[in-house]
Structure 1
Amino acid sequence: MRLSVLALLAGLWGAPALAQTPPPAGAEPPAPQDQRQRIEQLDAELKDSTAVQERLAAEVAALEGDRAKLNEALLDTAIRVRETEGKLDASEQRLLLLNREAADIKESLEARRAVLAEVLGGLVRLGRRPPPALMVRPDDALQSIRSAMMLGAVLPELKAETDLLASELAAQERVRQDTARERDALAELKRSLADERARTAALIEEKKNSLQQGEAALTEEKTRAAALAAEAGNVRELMERMETEISATRKAAQEAAQIEAQQGAGGGPADRLAALQNPGRLAPGVPFEEAKGLLKLPVGGAVLKGFGADDGYGGQEKGMSMGTRIEAQVASPSDGWVVYAGPFRSYGQLLIINAGGGYHILLAGMDKITVELGQFVLSGEPVGVMGRGPQLVSSAGLGTAQPILYVEFRKDGNSIDPTPWWATSESEKVRG
């Protein structure tokens, strides 16, 4: 019995150590059979990737020419991407906690290594030289009593230490199994996210191809916008000059004014709600002023700095900064027309959306913008992708290496607090 307990302890202690032991430096390379299996696995993955691309191409072809269905598919895909990114964040946090728990258990076992050696040593000695029985020669009786007294004092302590070590080893094994399951789930989520991003890219490309504006005219507009951005001293000047000198931007401003007048002339709440749910709409479903409490944040992540916070230079923040996932999808908070898309001074890649009624939304810090100048975008529609680190010059003061999205709302050229526009759950996150 004693030897079985010893074997159990030795097995429990040895199993984790063996599982974590790296292969020796002189280990032999994988056998040819292992290499063949790896090649077959890569071939299968390549075939799967080809099948996914063919399926996406068929889906996009089925949507060709149908603006409403194309927008609906794009919005649904954007929602799935946001949900998957949220699940990835939660899974990575759980994995981080499991790794910390495993490190704590390992540290505890390392600290108790000497105690473990004493326990194992005591069990070994008991197994090899059990205490003498009392029914022996008279001259051994005193020695037997002394041994029994010592054993009676030592065994409870040995049992307590054995139970503690066994529980720690069991906890270590549980954490290892939980970690393995979480890593598998994380890998599956990453595959799912890659598929959804590929679908989003295909749908965005199809929407670009369906735009009515000619490619040559669009290229000319982009060149003119870049020239104005180089000359403009600030965002307000940039917007004012673009709305008078760039035809696509001027047209967007005129359409916004017309839609505002039409919406103000009539239409009840039911009509506006129906318009907001129409994926084929070509104008904002709800006036921006009346969209308070309805908008979703453009990206998942934590708010690092809110509107009005100290900017570190003696002033106040004119917008809000959000830490995001690497390569996170950025969506438009509201309906509106793209009046600028490109680099601008310390903003990096800057996107300006005319939401109508004198309101503009600024999004900056993205690695790539996926919409075009003059394009009408829907609330929740993907408009950009974050990079792998901070893109804003001013973000250095935030003390983070993660990508940072800057969001600013403007009314008649002046910065305003965006908090009232966010949906209830989102605004609670902003308030922290």
Structure 2
Amino acid sequence: MKRFCLILALWAGPLAAQDGGAAARAAADALDVASIGLDQAETARDRVAALTDTVRAYEDGLTAMREGLRAAAIRETELSLKLRSQEAEVQELLSVLTALGNSGQPQTLLHPQGPLGMARSGMLVAAVTPGLAKKAADLRTDLKEVSDLRMLQQSAAQTLEKGLTGVQDARTALSKAIADRTDLPRRFTQDPIRTAILISATETLQGFASGLSQISEGDAPSTTTRIDDRMGLLQLPVRGVVLRKAGDPDAAGITRPGIVMATQPQALVTTPVAATIRYNGPLLDYGLVTILEPQADLLLVLAGLDTVYGEIGQVLPEGSPVGTMGGSLKMNNSSPSSEGGGAERSETLYIEVREGDAPVDPLMWFATDKG
């Protein structure tokens, strides 16, 4: 994984400042590294952790590949438009170069005004010829770049297909490893009857989260480890971008105290800190929900998942998978019109943080751009 991170760091600068195909080629290498990680994870002592790293590596590599291909497609479009706008100039350039041939030296030219006219013409041609040669060289460079970019995009389909197959294999292996895991400690044992009663008696996420503080009371000692010193430093539980901040209205004008993140289809969701699973399963109209308790009186609510991992009462180490997003991965996600890759992030994860019975702005806890 260290080599993978190094590859990403090499191309992580602004795409506009790089060769349009360089990022795509680096991403292809990253996908190759991820495939090696998948093979190594099969024999790793902690297979869940190793496979989690591998899935994340594939996700980053696929995102990088699509962004690199988008940059390449944009660059090809720019060059094609440039060449199209220069068609008349190119034709004139070709005509002049053809007329000069390979022997366009001043002393071979004849001029009707005699030696003086011949000398002046020779000086003019001598001055113009280097400029013509430079234009011809620039034209050759642009044409070669267009050709290279088209070949890159044509070969990318196979690379993307391998990457998609690899990440699916890694996710399948991860699901099996999680199902086979028996070494996680438990704080309490789930009481399905009390959980069902709580769900049926509440109509809001707030009411349900508040009820959780009582559902396992007395079953086991509360978590004593505090993470207050990590406020503002926790990693977000999923790769993506913040779509709506706490209090921002959605399309229907509804505001919620949590944030909404736009993610890639089937993105892996992990716990940003060691925590107890207080609940996972369907809840109200939020889809599948996981509620984690990193410390006493602090709950992390993750809503909108397609798959959830683990069992209620288990204590998960930091970075452990808790579920995946929905949607389906697609091959053709490198259109130049998809500015910034936003069109690829079709899934949304709702994240709410509650201290005691009150919600707080999740961005107070997570290390992200607060601007």
Check whether the contact 2:106–2:126 (CA below 8 A) recurs between aligned residues: no
What is the TM-score normalised by the length of structure 1?
A: 0.59
Q: Which residue of 2 aligns with 1:102?
A: 76
- Is 1:385 matched up with 2:324? yes
Gaps of 5+ in 2: 1-34, 329-341
Cα distance in 1 between the residues matched to 2:142 and 2:88? 20
1:134-145 counterparts in 2 under 5 A?
141-142=112-113
CA displacement 1:19-66 (0-9 Å, x = unmatched): xxxxxxxxxxxxxxxxxxxxxxxxxxxxxx9xx89x97x74xxx9xxx
Please, which of 173, 188, 192 is the counterpart of residue 144 of structure 2? Answer: 173
Q: Given the alignment, which residue of 45, 62, 75 partners 1:88?
A: 62
d(CA) in 2 for partners of 1:132, 1:235: 87
Instruction: Quickly say closer, same or farther: Cα 1:76–1:119, change in 2 above 3 A.
Output: same
State the shift of 1:164 in Å: 2.6
1:18 is aligned to: none
Quick check: 1:232 aligned with 2:202? yes
Decide whether the 8 Å contact of 2:109 with 2:118 is kept in 1. no
Quote the Cα distance in structure 2 between the aligned partners of 1:90 and 1:369: 26
Structure 2 SS opposite 1:337: strand
Structure 1 contact 134–144 (Cα < 8 Å) conserved: no
Distance in 2, Cα, partners of 1:343 & 1:144: 95
Deviation per residue, 1:385-408 (Å, 9 max, x gap):
11238xxxxxxxxx9652222211
In 2, Cα distance between equivalents of 1:212 and 1:131: 87
Alignment correspondent of 2:98: 124
Structure 2 match to 1:403:
347
* Alignment-mate amino acid for residue 306 of structure 2: D
Q: 1:167 to 1:125 in 2, by over 3 A?
A: closer
1:288·1:355 contact (CA, 8 Å) conserved in 2? yes
Equivalent positions of 1:21-420 (< 5 A) are: 59=43, 72-127=46-101, 141-142=112-113, 153=124, 157=128, 159-174=130-145, 177=148, 180=152, 183=156, 190=164, 193-207=167-181, 221=192, 225=195, 228-229=198-199, 232-241=202-211, 250-251=215-216, 253-254=217-218, 258-260=221-223, 263=224, 286-309=225-248, 317-388=256-327, 402-420=346-364
User: Identical aligned pairs, as a percentage?
Assistant: 23
Letter in 1 for 2:351: V
Mapped partners of 2:195, 2:62: distance in 1: 38
| Distance verdict in 2 for CA 1:364–1:115, change over 3 Å | same
Contact 2:106/2:121 (8 A) holds in 1: no
Higher radius of gyration, 1 or 2: 1
TM-score by length of 2: 0.67
Quote the Cα distance in structure 1 between the aligned partners of 2:107 and 2:226. Answer: 95
Q: 1:134-154: per-residue Cα shift (whole Å, max 9, x none)?
A: 799xxx854897687667656
Displacement of 1:318: 0.9
User: How much does 1:431 deviate?
Assistant: 1.4
User: For 1:363, what is the secondary structure of its paired residue?
Assistant: strand
The one-letter amino acid paired with 1:237 is G
CA distance in 2: counterparts of 1:167 and 1:131, whole angstroms: 23
Please list the CA deviations of residues 41-94 of structure 1 after superposition, one character each: whole Å capped at 9, or x if unmatched.
Answer: xxxxxxxx9xx89x97x74xxx9xxxxx5xx43123323433443343334323
User: Matched residues in 2 for 1:238 and 1:386: separation?
Assistant: 22
What amino acid sits opposite 1:403 in the alignment?
E
Q: Which structure 1 segments of 5+ residues have no match?
A: 1-48, 64-68, 245-249, 264-285, 390-398
Aligned-pair CA distance for 1:416: 0.9
Deviates more, 1:127-136 or 1:319-328: 127-136
1:225: Cα distance to partner?
4.6
Q: Give the residue type in structure 1 aligned to 2:322.
A: V
Helix, strand or coil for the counterpart of 1:430? coil
For residue 242 of structure 1, report the CA deviation from its aligned partner: 5.6
Q: Verify the 8 A CA contact 1:306 1:430 in the aligned structure 2.
A: no
- Counterpart contact for 1:292–1:420, Cα < 8 Å: yes
Change (3 A) 1:231 1:128: same
User: What amino acid sits opposite 1:419 in the alignment?
Assistant: L
Name the aligned partner's letter for residue 259 of structure 1. Answer: S
Superposed, 1:2-13 pairs within 5 Å as none
- Asked whether the equivalents of residues 85 and 193 of structure 1 are also in contact (C-alpha less than 8 Å), the reply is yes
Tell me which moved more, 371-380 or 288-297: 288-297
Q: Distance in 2 between matches of 1:313 and 1:159?
A: 64
> Is the partner of 2:265 in helix, strand or coil?
coil
Q: CA deviation at 1:235?
A: 1.0
SS of 1:259 mapped into structure 2? coil
Q: Match of 2:209, SS?
A: helix
Residue type of the partner of 1:295?
L
